[in-house]
Amino acid sequence: MTGGIAITGTEGLGRLYHSETGYRWELPDSVLGRAMSLFVTLLNTAGKMDKDTKYGYEGDRFGPMILRFVEDNGMVRLEQAVGMELPDDGTSVARLYNEARTWNTRNWLPILRNDAGSVTINVDPLLTDDQLFGLQSASFMLKLGMCIDRDPGFSEIRQIPGGMIVRSTRTYTSLPFPGRTIDTTRWQIGASLSLLPLEKMTARYFDRRVGYFKIPGRSVAANGCELIVSGIVKRWHLEPAPEDKDRYIRGEKVVPRQKIILYFDQDFPERWKETTRRAAANWAQILEAAGFRDAIEVREADADDPTCTPDNGRLSWIKFTPSPNENAYGHTQTDLRNGEVLCVLIRIFGSSFNLMQRWHIAQMGDVYPMSPEMEEKMFEWVLTHEIGHVLGLEHNFYGSTLFGTEQLRDAELMHREASGTSIMDYLRLNHAAQPEDGIAAEDLIPRLGSYDRAAIEWGYRCWPDCDERTVADSLSRRGTAMYADRRYRYMPQHNIRDPQVMAEDIGRRPLETIELGMRHLQRALESMATPRPGMCDTTLILQAVRAQFKNYAGQVSQHIGGRRRVFDRPAEIYRPVDADEQRKALTFFARYVVMPPAWIKPALEAELREGLAESLLDRLALVEEMALTGGDYTVEAYLADLERLFLGEAFDAVPTKERRAMAESYLTALDGFSGDPARSITLRVKCRQRMEQLRHHLAMSNNPYWNGVCERIASRDENTEAA
């Protein structure tokens, strides 16, 4: 490793200096054995950004690795944490687990000099290790390939109190796969190594009834002799200062010993700073439920402070990034030993306003650009959602089910309560509301709700001086109470068969609210026929309507073969969606896809229309499963309904061109399903039986088209038998 790197700042982790034979690190005894976090941050990027690129931007941070340096027999052993660390409860099983399962040896470094109170090592092997101080650990995410630098271009080692930052430039080349162009990129990065506090946060164990992000963990059984596979939640280390502990126990709200601080990056637009502060203040108010006031704050970065830099792994940032990506995200980086959030990055892509504008068009039927006030409210909502993620909260797609359809159209209720229990749902705008309901535009926007408050209290309430079992019992009781009340209930988003857990739906009866939402789409599309000054571009309007309609179609499909989690019977977990509701879902497709009204036709994508039959037949296995578990909608009934949906009710009438096209798509899909060896043999037989019944019905028709269809089915049957 070549010399000449600038070493600046005060001593942070001991003295770092350059000698004739390399870089030396004098590690004091106070640092040896201490856990440290290592993050790598992108300072200047070479990525090719497009609409789908989420990572690879300036400020992206990867990690942490949790490391420690341990003196051992004339050597320094570099260890990396690989699992959670059980609380020291005095049990032998916990001690044995911590010894064997929490740290792995990564490297051995000779001690070059051993003084009273410190040891000196050569750190060249560490600084040049691309797994540690480079981007190798993020190479897949960034599509980098491999590092080709023998000696990375180091520019600075900055020592800061309790840490150091190593800046370098590294070159990567894509792997030489056949047919792939070799791409070489250079990246400027900053690697931040920082001491972690001696006093570790106590891990809080995951409860499936409360939606927190979690990482793998273990707990000790009540008998003290067994380990239980569990999970620990991601959360910040909020606790009262020692002098405020008694006040906190009495129920007073106190400022936490260490606040959650988020920094604006230097390019953050001035216009959106106050809105961002309001989003943080929304959560500050919610955190009072856990007994903490003024717990979260957004600050300006201090340009004169050498420690206030994007690559300081102890700081958290909110960044606004010009990009074609129409999204935003909040990413937490945690200590895997206990789930403590060490730092976060919230990134808002500038093109996310395009997405908000399309929501505004499609979910309100308003084809004019958003007002500045509406833009600010929408931005505040999106950012509040992302801050919820960095506080540890997962999505809660059950939050949209609180209200019935009529309640969602009640202006007074929506002003007071908003449209759901959680901003962590993908509620979007209240598309059930209609212009005649008189609901103010800002009351259509999601807000923090009852679940958010309860979940934050569950995750952040402290019990000073209480033992672990007492705390666990209290948390369990709170989880039970939350699950029993739909205002505080959580359901995980991965249950894709439950119509209660859908993204971007609203209300307890989504099929009703979707019909109301279609009215907004109709108004938007009809406005395109008579463009007026100041309207949004018609291409944008059409994009908005198409995306929303596709979303509605996906929500409707989820009812077919669906099942609902039920809470009124202790012994019953799921109940099949009943036949009437599944038929209502098919009615939606009959009304808007199979034989659509003229106004929706500009928004009907060929992919959706041509693939509808195949996608509905794909749900046959789900319909069968629900029928076998007590549902009232059989496979035979579903196939009969699909036949009526695509072919119509009467076979003597002359079918329109549209009807013929949909009939052909269904017959082709049904034939393909029945001949697919990957499908259930039972379902294939039932499909063949349905085609045989259809052939007999068509044989009695006087219409030449249906007679031709009958002959084709018969011919196909003969060919199948011959084969």
Virtual torsion, Cα 677, 680, 685, 687, nearest 10 deg: -90
Q: Is the pLDDT of residue 718 over 70?
A: no
* Topology, domain 242-508: Collagenase (Catalytic Domain) (3.40.390)
Angle at 688 (CA atoms; ends 686, 691), nearest 5 degrees: 110
Dihedrals phi, psi of 471, to nearest 5 degrees: -65, -45
Q: What is the pLDDT at residue 3?
A: 58
Compute the distance between CA of residue 324 and CA of residue 346 in angstroms, rounded to an integer: 17
Question: Mean pLDDT lowest for which of 82-86, 284-288, 319-323?
Answer: 82-86
Q: Is the pLDDT of residue 487 over 90?
A: yes
Sequence-separated contacts (24+) of 465-469 with Cβ below 8 Å: 465/245, 465/249, 468/87, 468/89, 468/202
The most confident of the ranges 46-55, 92-101, 298-307 is 298-307
The most confident of the ranges 129-138, 139-148, 488-497 is 129-138
Scan for tokens 């190593």, then name that residue: 166
Compute the distance between CA of residue 106 and CA of residue 81 in angstroms, rounded to an integer: 10
Residue 319 — very low, low, confident or very high, per pLDDT cuts 50/70/90? very high
Q: What is the pLDDT of residues 504-549, one digit of tens each?
A: 999 999 999 999 999 999 999 999 988 899 999 999 999 999 999 9
* Mean per-residue pLDDT, 659-668: 92
Q: What is the pLDDT at residue 722?
A: 44
Share of the chain above pLDDT 70, in %: 97
Compute the distance between CA of residue 250 and CA of residue 30 in angstroms, rounded to an integer: 37
Q: What is the pLDDT of residues 218-274, one digit of tens each?
A: 888 877 778 888 899 999 999 999 999 999 999 999 999 999 999 999 999 999 999
Q: What is the pLDDT at residue 468?
A: 86
Compute the distance between CA of residue 264 and CA of residue 283 in angstroms, rounded to an integer: 17
Share of the chain above pLDDT 90, in %: 75
Contacts of 697 (CB under 8 A, 6+ apart): 651
The torsion region of residue 507 among left (phi > 0), alpha (psi -120 to 50) and beta comes to: left
- In 507-665 the beta strands, taken as DSSP E runs, fall at 563-565, 574-576
Mean pLDDT rounded to a whole number for the chain: 92
Compute the distance between CA of residue 372 and CA of residue 377 in angstroms, rounded to an integer: 9
Q: What is the pLDDT of residues 369-390, one digit of tens each?
A: 999 999 999 999 999 999 999 9
213 in Cβ contact with 332 (< 8 Å)? yes
Q: What is the pLDDT of residues 21-56, one digit of tens each?
A: 888 999 999 999 999 999 999 999 876 677 788 899
Domains of the chain: which residue ranges?
6-196, 242-508, 533-722
Contacts of 682 (CB under 8 A, 6+ apart): 624
Q: What is the pLDDT at residue 717?
A: 60
CA atoms lying within 13 Å on the CB side of residue 497? 15
Q: What is the pLDDT at residue 177?
A: 65
257 in Cβ contact with 240 (< 8 Å)? yes
Residue 572 — very low, low, confident or very high, per pLDDT cuts 50/70/90? confident
Q: What is the pLDDT at residue 723?
A: 43
Compute the distance between CA of residue 513 and CA of residue 506 in angstroms, rounded to an integer: 7
Strands 341-349 and 574-576 turn out to be unpaired
Orientation of helix 510-528 relative to helix 538-557, angle to 10°: 160
* Mean per-residue pLDDT, 464-490: 94
